[in-house]
A and B are shown apart, each in its own frame.
Chain A
């Protein structure tokens, strides 16, 4: 009986260690955001991004400058543009599963051109974003969104 108790204790200890280690590993390996270099110019990258998002059946909202609303229109940096998009069916489903999901909405990919003329695409990492909610149902429902993001970015940067 005593041996069984000790075995159970060791088993639980192993389980707890695995859960803690898995959480730590997620934190260490996953990146919350992804940065990609574009081999094309700023305008060309933006146009290609909009077209690719459309092709993946998302509704594209009007572009917004990253600083828009934070500063007057004459001072805004026009070389930082967020292309925002949404699939309303997915949005409705996501809000039903996890009302807090709005903190990472809407889907967006930002194109920036830095002072050296380098053009980059920046996006949230869907896999990492999903871990923030600790909601297995949400994760299961939206795992494929990561592949869509990747396909869009691949089309734009290839």
Chain B
């Protein structure tokens, strides 16, 4: 009976731990100690290094300021790979609203933070078939590599 009780507590603990883990994994984030403008410049270089093309940058902060709101620096970098967008928008139209991918870049005090959706975690919400699930995992790997570069690579400050 005692063993059963311990087992139940173990199952309970595992289940409770699993719930927040599911929620957190849906977004990938990184923090860079670099100032916002430098980090924004650098992330474009890093995306290119990983064979992504930066389609455009949306200046959310500029738009908000123009409308009279005060806000910290906040930009969205739209990026992707043409051949993937072209192919998958035909074979899996449900992906279209996710294209191009969006990387939120925003000031957090003196640091800069980056957030992007974790594609692999979206598989159940997209009803992904095997081929798409593999593609989502490949994108997750690429996104993690980009974020890892942003955490480790430093751009020298100009004098």
Contact = CB atoms under 8 A, between A and B. Distances in A.
For chain A, the bracket of interface size reads 35 or more
A122 interface: yes
A105 B54 contact: no
A95 B71 contact: yes
A71 interface: yes
Contacts of B60: 91, 95, 102, 105
Interface of B: 5, 8-9, 11-12, 15-16, 18-20, 22-24, 26-27, 29, 53-56, 58, 60, 63-64, 67, 69, 71, 74, 76, 78, 80-82, 85-86, 89-90, 93-100, 102-104, 106, 108, 113, 115-117, 122, 124-127
Interface of A: 6, 9, 12-13, 16-17, 19-20, 23, 27-28, 30-33, 35, 64, 66-71, 77, 80, 86, 88, 91-92, 95, 99-106, 108, 110, 112, 114-115, 120, 122-124, 128, 132-134
B96 A33 contact: yes
Contacts of B12: 9, 12-13, 16
A124 B98 CA distance: 8
A102 B56 contact: no
Given A31-B125, A132-B27, 16 more contacts: A9-B12, A16-B15, A32-B97, A32-B122, A33-B94, A33-B96, A77-B86, A92-B69, A95-B60, A99-B104, A102-B115, A106-B76, A112-B96, A122-B94, A134-B23, A134-B26
Contacts of A91: 60, 63-64
B134 to A, nearest CB: 18
B117 A103 contact: yes
Nearest to A28: B124
Contacts of A112: 89, 93, 96
